[in-house]
Structure formats: C-alpha cells, structure tokens
Copies of this chain bind each other. A is one copy, B any other.
C-alpha cells in the first residue's frame, strides 16, 4: 500500500459535535490531529499547543509571508491558520492527519491536496440541530438563531464534500467516519504501486 498518509478534513454545522467526534477519532484510531494557530487570546483552560498555537499578529503575518499555512482565514478580527510543516511532516511519515475546519478552508485545501478526504458532519435533521444548540443552555436565543442562520448558509456548500456522515449516535458516527477514512485508503488510485508490484510478481512466478 502507498506509504503517504491521508489528509482528512472534517467540517460540519455548528453544534453538531465536530470537536467530540474528532477527539474520539484521535483517541480510538490514533489519527494525528492538526492544531491551528490563532491570534486570538487564550480562553480559560486553553493550552498553547494543545488547543491552539497562540501567536502575536506580527508572528502570524510573518508565517503567512513564509507560506507557513496551508490555509488561513479571519473571523471576528482574529486570524486562524493550519500550520503547513506539521501536516506535511505527518503525511510524509505515512500518518493520517485530521483537520477540523470550516467550509471555505476545506474547499481551499481540496484545491491544494486533491487526495484529501472531505467529510461533512450533520445532525439527523435541522430541528435536531436546533435542539442541540438550545440544549446546551449556555446560549441565549439570539445566538442560537445566529448559528441556525449560519447553518443554513453552510448547507449550501454541503454538496461540495465527498462524504456526509450523520452524528445521531456518537459511537456510530465515529465508526462511520473511520470507515470513510479506511475506504479512502482502499481506493484503487491509492494503491497503484502495490497493484503494479502484484502484477509484476504474478507475471514472474
């Protein structure tokens, strides 16, 4: 089988449980997780290098200049980026790397890494998604509404993903995402080298 790792891009609606799914994928299957860099201030409990790499704006701009990110974006006046060095080192070492990233960044990455697997996580229905956001209890109704509007916008780009996985039952969702990754590794295009070797061996026997 080919030695290069897979780049796995996971997006999904706000409130769908992306973070939990990604954490479980790392725990259960040993995937490498890319940690983003950001210029925003650490929140309570966040640890540099685990949750984010916290950077000054000057350092971040410098990294942009040096092509240090495979993608970056601005939200609410803060910069967020995916460090290139980690991703490329892990892929070269044959590790599968997971990025949790929003829609525009995901499509941008697909342009640079056509082999990347794009997975979109969704709730089983819009009403269920809303219930989850309300159920958190921490958000006021205005925030819930804003997130639902954002979900409606994001849904326009769902069809640009290759796979859609429903997060209804967490365990099942984690298994399904893992299946998608395993299947990608079995695709014929990922196994040309192995196949050609097999053919040559069979001819020679």
Given B148, B152, B183, B202, which contacts A184 in the complex, CB threshold below 8 Å?
B183
Interface flags, A171-182, vs B, CB<8A=1, else 0: 000011011101
Name A's interface SS: helix
Asked if A159 lies at the interface with its beta carbon under 8 angstroms from chain B, I say yes
Q: Are A163 and B151 interface neighbours, CB within 8 A? A: no
A residues near B (Cβ < 8 Å) are: 1, 119, 122, 125-127, 129-130, 148, 151-152, 155-156, 158-159, 161-166, 175-176, 178-180, 182-184, 186-188, 191-192, 194-195, 198-199, 201-205
Given A127-B205, A202-B152: A161 and B188 within 8 A (CB)? yes
Count of this chain's copies in the oligomeric assembly: 2
Which B residues lie within 8 Å of A162 (CB)?
A: 187-188
Which B residues lie within 8 Å of A184 (CB)?
A: 183
Given A179-B179, A186-B180, A205-B152: A199 and B164 within 8 A (CB)? no
Q: Are B166 and A205 interface neighbours, CB within 8 A? A: no
Which B residues lie within 8 Å of A183 (CB)?
A: 163, 179-180, 182-184
In the bound assembly, the distance between CA atoms of A183 and B156 in angstroms comes to 22
In the bound assembly, the distance between CA atoms of A114 and B20 in angstroms comes to 36
In the bound assembly, the distance between CA atoms of A82 and B182 in angstroms comes to 29
